[in-house]
Amino acid sequence: MSTEVDEDPRRVLVLGGARSGKSAFAESVLSTRVAVQYVATAPAVDDDPEWIARVAEHRARRPPTWSTLESRDLATVCRASDAGAALIDSITAWLTATLDTHRAWQDDPGWRLRVASDVTDLTDAWSGSGRTLVAVSDEVGSGIVPESAAGRMFRDELGSLNQRLAAAADEVWLVTAGIPCRLR
């Protein structure tokens, strides 16, 4: 089984479970590039020491020549064709924030249409992007069925989004126990 990434893929989706090594693998895909825009989609949390340590671990792995952009506007990131390569970490955090914004957890009327619009905007931008993009997302459908309705909704929404991104990706990888396996 080969773990070599094509010489210059345009869109790479890296999937895996929690602490699977997916982010480290995604970083390795772009390791030969001097300038990479690392797009952090999770909010900064100043009062959570464990989260602060995770962020520091991620930052320590990245070359000093990489820039960091904290943004949830992934469609704009994907459309910035003159900006060089970007690593998006993570689609999971982006979807969580999108569901928060549209009050999906509270079952606000119309949330599904608003989320679907944002997802379509992202997947259209991903599909049509002229820049090299590597996106990290959690693979959440391999475990037990979540007990809560919110957990099942999140699993379903992320599973659907991952499928749409994978359909337009040049390469799709699954990382399990630190071992990358090319799916496409």
* Residue-range definition of the domain harbouring residue 57: 11-182
- Look at 94 and 59; give whichever has higher pLDDT: 94
Asked if residue 3 belongs to a domain, the reply is no
Asked if residue 122 belongs to a domain, the reply is yes
Whole-number pLDDT of residue 56 = 82
Whole-number pLDDT of residue 4 = 63
Asked if residue 95 belongs to a domain, the reply is yes
Asked if residue 1 belongs to a domain, the reply is no
| CA distance linking residue 32 with residue 11, whole number of Å | 16
Q: What's the total number of domains in the chain?
A: 1
Of residues 10, 33, 54, 58, which has the active-site annotation?
58
Asked if residue 178 belongs to a domain, the reply is yes
Asked if residue 129 belongs to a domain, the reply is yes
Q: What is the CATH number of the domain that holds 133?
A: 3.40.50.300
Asked if residue 156 belongs to a domain, the reply is yes
Assess whether 102 carries a catalytic annotation. Answer: no
Mean pLDDT of 29-58: 88
For the entire predicted model, the pTM comes to 0.91
Whole-number pLDDT of residue 143 = 79
Asked if residue 5 belongs to a domain, the reply is no
CB burial readout 121-136, b (16+ within 10 A) else e: bbbebbeebebbbbbb
| CA distance linking residue 129 with residue 127, whole number of Å | 6
Average pLDDT of the chain, as a whole number: 92
Whole-number pLDDT of residue 43 = 77
Mean pLDDT of 77-95: 93
